[in-house]
Amino acid sequence: MRRFALIAVPYLWLLLLFLIPFVIVLKISLSDVALARPPYMPQLDLSTGWEGLKAFFAELDFENFTFLTTDDLYWKAYLSSLKIAAISTLLTLAVGYPIAYGMARAAPEWRPTLLMLVILPFWTSFLIRVYSWMGILSTEGVLNTVLLKIGIISEPLMIMNTPTAVYIGIVYTYLPFMVLPIYSALEKMDESLIEAAEDLGCSKLAAFWLVTWPLSKNGIVAGSFLVFIPALGEFVIPSLLGGSGTLMIGKVLWEEFFNNRDWPVASAVAVILLLILIVPIVLFQRNEQKAREAEG
């Protein structure tokens, strides 16, 4: 009996507040927009019984999804989100790998402190970390002022409200997610393997490419997914740093819902985003499972 209650309480909570809301999104994505409260048709009215239920299902259609394919705003936004997420994942890897490498090769007594320094920004508000770049990148911002004073540039750089600002924002906020898995893979590595490779005639670079890089692959893959997946649906970064010049699907969904009040289309956008996300999520799960099996 107690076991039953233990399972039932979290189970029911998640069913009610996680699964059922999705079913509702799915249903509304098949409905039509209407000038009513709530603003969509048809409404399910159970009091009319079986006939009402049949009429309800007859009115559902894929019109919103057809609409998404005809208006190029949407598929452009999906493509641009995929592109921005992919490029910023590569950039995060390029910035994060040397940091993780430096940490894993630092003296052991330094490592806990370095680890804490990487985790500390993660605990500080995400919104504030994104916001901190607004003062740096804007036209009269710190970066432009400094560069103009030194004389490297004569015109202020226009970084704010461009995709570049979004890349910087994503790399900055998601860096710990990339550094930590790579660090834990590199830290476990036996350094004598490198010495062996060098003794056997490998150059430093060849030893890195042939030994270190493959051994840190699990960390790289895990870190890349941990950046790519949330970056794809990101809302805060494109809306604060990207301006109107950056198209991302999270922002489109938000505007469709709050500004246009088109709930059916917003729901359809959410359903497609979820379908796109299933691929990387399944790949990520598989990678994790393989890593666990390799260790166990």
Partner 1 sequence: MRRFSWFNATSLTLGFAFLYLPMILLVIYSFNESRLVTVWAGFSTKWYGELFRDQEFLDAAWVTVKVAVFSSTLATILGTMAAYVLVRAGRFLGRTLFSGMIYAPLVMPEVITGLSLLLLFIGIGLDRGVFTIVLAHTTFSMCYVSVVVSSRLSSFDRSLEEAALDLGCSAFEAFRLVTLPIIAPAVISGWLLAFTLSLDDLVIASFTTGPSATTLPIKIFSAVRLGVSPQINALSTILIAIVTIGVITTSIITKRASQAQARDEQAAIRAED
Per CB under 8 A, contacts with partner 1 among 167-206 are 172, 175, 179
**220: number of Cβ within 10 Å:** 19
Q: Which helix (H) or strand (E) holds 52?
A: helix 49-59
Q: How far apart are CA 115 and CA 154, in angstroms?
A: 40
Among 91, 141, 158, 189, binds partner 1 (CB under 8 A): 141
- Name the residue among 186, 183, 182, 187 with its Cα closest to residue 222: 182
Question: Using the rule CB under 8 A, is 283 a contact of partner 1?
Answer: no
Coil, helix or strand at residue 32 = strand
Among 48, 66, 69, 145, binds partner 1 (CB under 8 A): 145
In the complex, minimum distance from the CB of residue 189 to partner 1, in angstroms, rounded to a whole number: 15
Site residue total, partner 1 (CB under 8 A): 81
Q: Which among 61-69, 85-93, 111-119, 181-189 is the span making contact with partner 1, rule CB under 8 A? A: 111-119
Q: Which among 6-14, 64-72, 82-90, 213-221 is the span making contact with partner 1, rule CB under 8 A? A: 6-14
Among 35, 128, 200, 279, binds partner 1 (CB under 8 A): 128
Burial of 274 by CB count in 10 Å (0-12 exposed, 13-18 middle, 19+ buried)?
A: middle
Please work out, in degrees rounded to the nearest 5, the angle formed at the alpha carbon of residue 210 by the alpha carbons of 207 and 211: 75
In the complex, minimum distance from the CB of residue 56 to partner 1, in angstroms, rounded to a whole number: 14
Q: Which among 53-61, 85-93, 180-188, 236-244 is the span making contact with partner 1, rule CB under 8 A? A: 236-244
Do residues 179 and 106 touch, judged by C-beta distance below 8 A? Answer: no
Which is closer to partner 1, CB of 163 or CB of 266?
A: 266
Among 210, 229, 283, 291, binds partner 1 (CB under 8 A): 229
Among 56, 65, 75, 254, binds partner 1 (CB under 8 A): 254
> Residues for the chain: how many in total?
296
Among 253, 262, 265, 268, binds partner 1 (CB under 8 A): 253
Per CB under 8 A, contacts with partner 1 among 17-46 are 17-22, 24-25, 28, 38
Among 250, 262, 265, 268, binds partner 1 (CB under 8 A): 250
Question: Using the rule CB under 8 A, is 67 a contact of partner 1?
Answer: no
Per CB under 8 A, contacts with partner 1 among 71-110 are 95-96, 98-99, 101-103, 105-107
Among 30, 159, 232, 265, binds partner 1 (CB under 8 A): 232
Q: How far apart are CA 28 and CA 40, in angstroms?
A: 7
Q: Using H for helix, E for strand and C for coil, what is the string for 126-190?
A: HHHHHHHCHHHHCCCCHHHHHHHHHCCCCCCCCCCCCHHHHHHHHHHHHHHHHHHHHHHHHHHCC
Beta bridge partners of 41: 32
Among 55, 94, 117, 196, binds partner 1 (CB under 8 A): 117
Do residues 182 and 174 touch, judged by C-beta distance below 8 A? Answer: no
Can you read off the two tokens belonging to residue 97?
């790998």
- The amino acid at residue 277 is L
Question: Using the rule CB under 8 A, is 233 a contact of partner 1?
Answer: yes
Which is closer to partner 1, CB of 9 or CB of 73?
A: 9
Which is closer to partner 1, CB of 168 or CB of 218?
A: 168
